[in-house]
Amino acid sequence: MIWAAEIHPYKNKYYYFATFTNRGVKIDTVKGNVIERRASHVLVSNNPGGPYVPMKDPVYLPADKPTLDGTFWIDKDGKPYMVYCYEWLQNLDGTIEKYN
pLDDT tens, position by position, 21-42: 999 999 999 999 999 999 898 9
Residues 15, 56, 59, 50: is their CA dihedral positive or negative? positive
Per-residue confidence (pLDDT) for residue 76, from 0 to 100:
93
Q: Predicted confidence band at 98 (pLDDT cuts at 50, 70, 90)?
A: confident
How do residues 51-66 score in pLDDT, each as one tens digit?
A: 999 987 655 678 888 9
Q: Which residues contact 84 (CB under 8 A, 6 or more apart)?
A: 40, 61, 67, 68, 69, 70, 71, 96, 97, 98, 99
* Mean per-residue pLDDT of the chain: 90
Q: What is the pLDDT of residue 1?
A: 83
- Domain segments of the chain as ranges: 2-38+58-99
- Residue 97: per-residue pLDDT: 85
Q: Residue 15 pLDDT more than 70?
A: yes
Express each pLDDT in 79-89 by its tens digit.
999 999 998 88
